[in-house]
Amino acid sequence: MNSALLNKLTEIRKMLHAHPEVSEHEFETQKRIIAFLENETSATISKVGKTGVLATFATNESGPTIIIRGDIDALPIVEINDFEHKSTIEGVSHKCGHDGHTTILLGLAKLLSEQTIEKGKVILLFQPAEENGMGAQAVLDDPTFSNENIDFVFALHNLPGYKKHEIVVKDQEFTGNVKSIILKLTGKTAHAAEPEQGINPGKAIAEILEFADQITHNKPEESNFFLMTAIYATLGDLAYGISAGYGEVHFTIRSWDTQLMQEQNEKIVAFMQATCAKHGLTSDISWTQVFHANINDPEAVNHIRMAANSNNYSITERSYPFRWGEDFGLFTQQYKGAMFGLGAGESTPALHNPDYDYPDEITPTGIQMFYQIIQSIL
């Protein structure tokens, strides 16, 4: 990649970083993506999933249809960096590198415009709302996307803790199943001097927190890994004369195995309901932010390996999945495809840390990886 294009892409990435938007609100980001595609590429452009974008490169020759996906949303995290391109939006920042993932796809669109494919179709999906798990489903439900006959889907995620430009691959599960459960417990308030006159959810919450520890098997190197993490809890009001009559407790649950996830979720719901009933409480249980495991297809992963070898990039074979959720799993559970990791630097702050910043040096690596995957398939 020539230095002029890399400098332009770096400027775009920093501009995106300075103007982050949270899930389902990426309206200005969408406009910026479309503006670049219109001015710099030959892509056919369409909106998808409300705030997403499709950039299509089609030919008259029959061949596979390949989706390359990059996520575009930011996080509700306060940035503590003080560089020139720091976030200008209070309480919102790109702390997962989606500004970089977007830029990689913009660079790929530029490359596909200059070195055109000869058959088949390539669609670059700038996907919104990955962080809250709503974006992939919104895209899949959109007729603009659902009418496509898709042969392969690919995505990457930058990975702090790995050497820059290193390619991280894994067959089968790349990221786990992740979902969150909300339990609302309703009892009855009473005077704090006479708690027996009411129904206080405190003991039930304590028992459920203990149950979460008991059901957890936090050994990610093992196939029966299962993690139930307490995320949020509240009990009553800040009124010292009142015995609480209402409480909430929220957990995030993770597992590699889909069947194990279902079985354990049923146990969790049953225990919550039984505990609430035992203490005379009404329970209200709901689920949110569901992420399905990324199931990497072996053929798709081999295309990733071949692309890395063709570019002389170092490859690391991951022994077990990453514990974080990724809604790209909705795509890999429907289509043949895979996600891979792109090393972002061993000393780079971790994802979702307030001082994280995507390293621009790895952008050409991501572009070349995707382009070589496309060439390998077509």
Query: Which letter does DSSP use for residue 223 in this model?
Result: T
Contact present, 185 and 285 (Cβ < 8 Å): no
Half-sphere exposure at residue 130, Cβ-oriented, CA atoms within 13 angstroms: 28
- Who contacts 371 (Cβ-Cβ below 8 Å, separation ≥6)? 108, 111, 112, 115
Distance linking the first and last C-alpha atoms of the chain: 22
Give the residue range(s) of CATH 3.40.630.10 domains in the chain: 3-175+293-377
- Who contacts 259 (Cβ-Cβ below 8 Å, separation ≥6)? none
- What is the Cα–Cα distance from 109 to 121, expressed in whole angstroms? 13
CA distances for 225 relative to 9, 137, 295, 341, angstroms: 40, 26, 16, 21
Give the residue range(s) of CATH 3.30.70.360 domains in the chain: 177-290
Looking at residue 1, its pLDDT comes to: 77
| Residue labelled with tokens 């071949």 | 306
- How many CB atoms are located within 10 Å of the residue 267 CB? 11
The SS3 assignment for 280 reads coil
- What is the Cα–Cα distance from 204 to 197, expressed in whole angstroms? 17
- How many CB atoms are located within 10 Å of the residue 354 CB? 13
Contact present, 156 and 342 (Cβ < 8 Å): yes
Half-sphere exposure at residue 21, Cβ-oriented, CA atoms within 13 angstroms: 19
Looking at residue 2, its pLDDT comes to: 87
Question: Please, what CATH class does the domain formed by 3-175+293-377 belong to?
Answer: alpha beta
Query: Tokens at residue 350, please?
Result: 């971790």
Per residue of the chain (378 residues), what is the pLDDT tens digit?
788 999 999 999 999 999 999 999 999 999 999 999 999 999 999 999 999 999 999 999 999 999 999 999 999 999 999 999 999 999 999 999 999 999 999 999 999 999 999 999 999 999 999 999 999 999 999 999 999 999 999 999 999 999 999 999 999 999 999 999 999 999 999 999 999 999 999 999 999 999 999 999 999 999 999 999 999 999 999 999 999 999 999 999 999 999 999 999 999 999 999 999 999 999 999 999 999 999 999 999 999 999 999 999 999 999 999 999 999 999 999 999 999 999 999 999 999 999 999 999 999 999 999 999 999 999
Contact present, 95 and 75 (Cβ < 8 Å): yes
Which residue in 157, 150, 141, 98 sits closest to 123, CA to CA? Answer: 150
Which residue in 46, 15, 60 sits closest to 124, CA to CA? Answer: 46
| Degrees to nearest 5, angle at CA 296 with 129 and 370 | 70
- What is the Cα–Cα distance from 34 to 12, expressed in whole angstroms? 13
- What is the Cα–Cα distance from 53 to 375, expressed in whole angstroms? 23
Query: Tokens at residue 224, please?
Result: 């029966």
Query: Tokens at residue 100, please?
Result: 């970089």
Which residue in 69, 144, 160 sits closest to 358, CA to CA? Answer: 160
Can you give the pTM of this predicted structure?
0.93
Looking at residue 250, its pLDDT comes to: 98
Alpha helical stretches, state H, the chain: 3-18, 27-40, 98-114, 135-141, 143-146, 202-215, 258-278, 298-310, 329-332, 363-377
- What is the Cα–Cα distance from 221 to 225, expressed in whole angstroms? 7
Looking at residue 159, its pLDDT comes to: 98
Question: Please, what CATH class does the domain formed by 177-290 belong to?
Answer: alpha beta
Contact present, 54 and 123 (Cβ < 8 Å): yes
- Structural element, H or E, at residue 48: strand 44-48
